[in-house]
């Protein structure tokens, strides 16, 4: 246990993992956004689950929905088998539960459908977190502030440029951190006094259990597609409930480096996803995956080490400034500034630059790939060129972003 003592005894967590991730299409064509690969070996959901686990919160319900099979399988085969007596990480989904339950109609509706788990938990606090952001956080510190403030709700918040704030819920707070207003995705977001930034919600909440039950039962009488940002938080402010902001930049974890302070990435677009991955291969990345005092956990699999091979023609396999996962073989080829997922193979005379390859991508001979994201299991034929000719990439049916990132989806 890495978090503070006794947190796990009176807190349960509910992780919202049902998002489609439409802006990550075609990566989300066959998987939920929280199931998208990150840094080669992880899934996006592994970050929030690692934060909860390391913080000592071991009773976690993961609410899945869209394309849930692979995500549920990942949770069952990794997180579901790591906990002991009285502890659990369990995925639940409307599509696999009773016929009387409907698909989630909003973030708060997802919790409402499973409110019976909250009511039967005997927990004092409920942590409600999203599943598709990249960050490290000691959740127990947020809970302790919630306790000290005698809050009904605490909202994790982070400063963002005013130009980006329209994508988030925006808070205004008083000198004590109490929220005085909240607006979901405003056209004209309110800036922090004297700054060119806004205080944005991270979509992570700590509720006092009794208040959560009370508020959701009242809110369902007023709204059908019940959402925390659009309905629950404004209603609580209207009723003058004790709602506070938690400043994420004050969160400190073991092994923490100064450049990681306030690191939180919303990887909900292809460009944001690509650049967050590419940051990892820098000499000093902002997010340090090698912090063993606060590990990011996942299903490791039973794979041999990655290796480089000199082919029959004497060409050496080379991996430069790259993250290469277990089971990968670079044979007489060069991989530069790239991320390779498990069991990839790059063959002779090929060059992979500034790219992300998901699991089991097979790259043929004399292939050139630049600034691309290649989905799981894709086979790249010999002499294929990707990322050099936009029109040709589009003709093949690939997705190309305005910044020139090429996404090669699975065909089946």
Asked if residue 169 belongs to a known ligand binding site, the reply is yes
Dump the DSSP string for 339-375.
EE-TT-EE-TT-EEES-EE-TT-EE-TT-EEESEEE-
Peptide bond into 152 cis (omega under 30): no
Rounded-to-integer distance, Cα 314 and Cα 259, Å: 42
Burial class (CB in 10 A: 0-12, 13-18, 19+), 166: middle
Long-range CB contacts (< 8 A, 24+ apart) of 257-260?
257/288, 257/291, 259/284, 259/286, 260/136, 260/286, 260/287, 260/288
**Cβ-proximal residues to 138 (8 Å cutoff; 6+ apart), any chain:** 2, 3, 4, 51, 54, 55, 251, 252, 253, 294
DSSP state of 194: T
The kind and range of the H/E element at 119 are helix 115-119
Give the dihedral of Cα atoms 166, 169, 173, 176; nearest 10 deg: -140
Q: Which residues of 264-281 are buried (b: 16+ CB within 10 A; e: fewer)?
A: bbbbbebeebbebbbebb
**Cβ-proximal residues to 353 (8 Å cutoff; 6+ apart), any chain:** 336, 337, 338, 369, 370, 371
Tell whether the torsion through CA atoms of 386, 389, 394 and 400 is positive or negative.
positive
Asked if residue 282 belongs to a known ligand binding site, the reply is no
DSSP state of 250: G
Phi-psi region of 262 (alpha: psi -120 to 50; beta: other; left: phi over 0): left
| C-beta of residue 348 within 8 angstroms of C-beta of residue 315 | yes
Rounded-to-integer distance, Cα 380 and Cα 374, Å: 9
Asked if residue 185 belongs to a known ligand binding site, the reply is yes
Tokens of 246: 């938690």
In the three-class reduction of DSSP (H, G, I as helix; E, B as strand; rest coil), residue 313 is classed as coil
Annotated binding site for alpha-D-glucose 1-phosphate: 169, 184-185, 201
Annotated binding site: 169, 184-185, 201
């Amino acid at each position: 246990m890495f978090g503070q003592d006794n947190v796990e005894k009176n807190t349960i967590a509910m992780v919202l993992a049902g998002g489609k991730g439409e802006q990550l299409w075609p990566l989300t064509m066959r998987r939920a956004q929280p199931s998208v690969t990150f840094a080669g070996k992880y899934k996006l959901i592994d970050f929030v689950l690692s934060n909860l686990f390391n913080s000592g919160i071991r009773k976690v319900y993961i609410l899945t929905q869209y394309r849930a099979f692979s995500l549920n399988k990942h949770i069952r085969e990794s997180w579901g088998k790591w906990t002991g007596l009285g502890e659990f990480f369990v995925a639940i989904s409307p599509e696999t539960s009773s016929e009387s339950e409907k698909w989630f109609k909003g973030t708060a509706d997802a919790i409402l459908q499973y409110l019976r788990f909250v009511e039967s938990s005997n927990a004092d606090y409920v942590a409600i977190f999203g599943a598709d952001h990249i960050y490290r956080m000691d959740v127990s510190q947020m809970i302790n502030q919630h306790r000290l403030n005698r809050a009904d709700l605490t909202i994790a918040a982070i400063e963002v440029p005013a130009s980006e704030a329209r994508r988030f819920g925006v808070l205004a707070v008083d000198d004590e951190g109490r929220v005085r207003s909240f607006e979901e995705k405003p056209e004209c977001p309110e800036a922090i006094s004297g700054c060119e930034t806004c205080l944005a919600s991270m979509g992570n909440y700590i509720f006092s259990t009794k208040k959560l039950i009370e508020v959701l039962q009242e809110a369902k009488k007023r709204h059908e597609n019940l959402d925390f940002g659009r309905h629950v938080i404004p209603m609580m402010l209207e009723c003058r409930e004790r709602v506070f902001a938690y400043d994420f930049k004050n969160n400190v974890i073991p092994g923490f480096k100064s450049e990681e302070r306030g690191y939180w990435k919303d990887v909900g677009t292809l460009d944001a996803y690509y650049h967050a991955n590419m940051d990892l291969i820098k000499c000093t990345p902002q997010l340090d995956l090698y912090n063993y005092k606060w590990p990011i956990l996942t299903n490791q699999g039973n794979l041999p080490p990655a290796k480089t091979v000199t082919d029959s023609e004497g060409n050496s396999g080379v991996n430069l400034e790259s993250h290469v996962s277990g089971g990968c073989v670079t044979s007489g080829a060069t991989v530069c500034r790239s991320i390779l997922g498990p069991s990839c193979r790059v063959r002779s005379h090929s060059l992979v630059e500034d790219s992300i390859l998901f699991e089991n991508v097979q790259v043929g001979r004399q292939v050139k790939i630049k600034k691309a994201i290649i989905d799981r299991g894709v086979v790249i034929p010999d002499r294929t060129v990707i990322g050099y000719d936009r029109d040709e990439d589009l003709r093949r049916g690939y997705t190309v972003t305005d910044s020139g990132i090429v996404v090669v989806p699975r065909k089946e």
